[in-house]
């Protein structure tokens, strides 16, 4: 499965989960994807806006967010720092816990004010960085306390397993994430996947929180941003190469996502190179 669609969780080999401190120095986006893990994010600085099951949640500094397994989601973010814990379902299975049926109470999660939640993240980071004797056991002890507190106070109801419609939507997203630089329209997608164009547009918006057009633009702009940073090609040639043909709309979307113009990104990159 393509890495742009399903996110494979590569565990820290010693503790069997993925735990890291994320530091992003610019605004950006992460396209629609999903993974077979429970993801817990603690934002330290900046903001991250998640779209999960077509619902949008803005997470500010010193707030926690949780993403269930096998749920299609995306995010946009400002410059930020965050702790990220990604726990594969197998970790829970080994404990006799059926975590794939977890569903999050986002309302309770938003109003979490238990300071011990936040200190657990710092403690986990300190334990893992120091790697003193017995650190794996200490790491698990803190992690399980964190999960237990979140379970009791903020989550859990069972959810239904993936439906046929969701499976079809996943195939559609996989195709878009691979072929987004090609000439894709709602009509061509509808024909390929056997939908009425109007129905497909409504369904995609309802299930993901994105319109098909805005999602295509976001993928193309993400690629354009990388080319602005990594190449000396002209802005117009970059836009053309990734399938962006409407300059006015392109500049509007770019400013909305990255908070500045393509020219400013290019000039900033050249300035950093000269220093």
- What's the whole-model pTM score? 0.76
> Please, what's the b/e burial string for 151-162 (b: 16 or more CB within 10 A of its CB; e: otherwise)?
eeebbeeebeee
To the nearest 10 degrees (0 to 180), the angle between helices 262-274 and 212-230 is 20
Look at the domain 164-274 and name its fold. Answer: Arc Repressor Mutant, subunit A (1.10.10)
Residue ranges of domains in the chain? 18-153, 164-274
Sheet with 73-77, side-by-side order of all strands: 28-33, 73-77, 48-52, 55-59
Architecture of domain 18-153: Sandwich (2.60)
Q: How far apart are alpha carbons 212 and 234 in whole angstroms?
A: 27
Tens-place pLDDT, residues 157-171: 666 554 445 778 888
The two beta strands, 28-33 and 73-77, are antiparallel
**pLDDT per residue of the chain (275 residues) written in tens, 0 to 9:** 334 344 444 457 799 899 999 999 889 998 998 888 999 999 999 999 999 878 899 999 999 999 988 888 999 999 999 999 999 999 998 988 888 878 888 888 888 777 788 899 999 999 999 999 999 999 999 999 999 888 877 666 666 554 445 778 888 998 999 999 999 999 999 999 999 999 999 999 988 888 999 899 999 999 999 899 889 899 999 999 999 988 899 999 898 888 889 998 888 765 554 44
Dist. CA 241–CA 259, nearest whole Å? 22
């Amino acid at each position: 499965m393509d890495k742009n669609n399903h996110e494979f969780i590569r565990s820290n080999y010693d503790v069997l989960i993925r735990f890291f401190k994320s530091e992003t120095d610019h605004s950006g986006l992460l396209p629609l994807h999903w993974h077979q893990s429970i993801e817990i994010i603690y934002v330290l600085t900046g903001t991250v806006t998640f779209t999960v099951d077509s619902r949008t949640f803005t997470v500010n500094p010193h707030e926690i967010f949780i993403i269930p397994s096998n749920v299609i989601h995306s995010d946009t973010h400002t410059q930020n720092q965050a702790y990220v814990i990604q726990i594969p379902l197998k970790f829970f299975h080994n404990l006799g816990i059926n975590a794939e049926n977890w569903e999050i109470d986002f309302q309770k999660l938003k109003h979490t004010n238990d300071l011990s939640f936040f200190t657990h993240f710092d403690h986990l980071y300190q334990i893992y960085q120091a790697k003193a004797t017995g650190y794996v056991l200490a790491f698990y002890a803190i992690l399980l306390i964190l999960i237990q507190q979140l379970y009791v106070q903020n989550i859990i109801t069972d959810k239904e397993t993936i439906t046929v419609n969701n499976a079809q939507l996943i195939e559609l997203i996989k195709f878009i994430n691979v072929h987004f630089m090609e000439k894709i329209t709602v009509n061509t997608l509808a024909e390929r996947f056997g939908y009425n164009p109007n129905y497909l547009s409504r369904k995609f918006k309802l299930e993901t929180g994105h319109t098909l057009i805005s999602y295509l633009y976001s993928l193309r702009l993400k690629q354009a941003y990388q080319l602005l940073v990594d190449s000396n090609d002209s802005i117009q040639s970059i836009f053309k190469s990734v399938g962006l043909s409407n300059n006015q709309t392109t500049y509007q979307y770019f400013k909305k996502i990255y908070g500045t113009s393509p020219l400013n990104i290019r000039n900033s990159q050249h300035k950093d190179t000269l220093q």
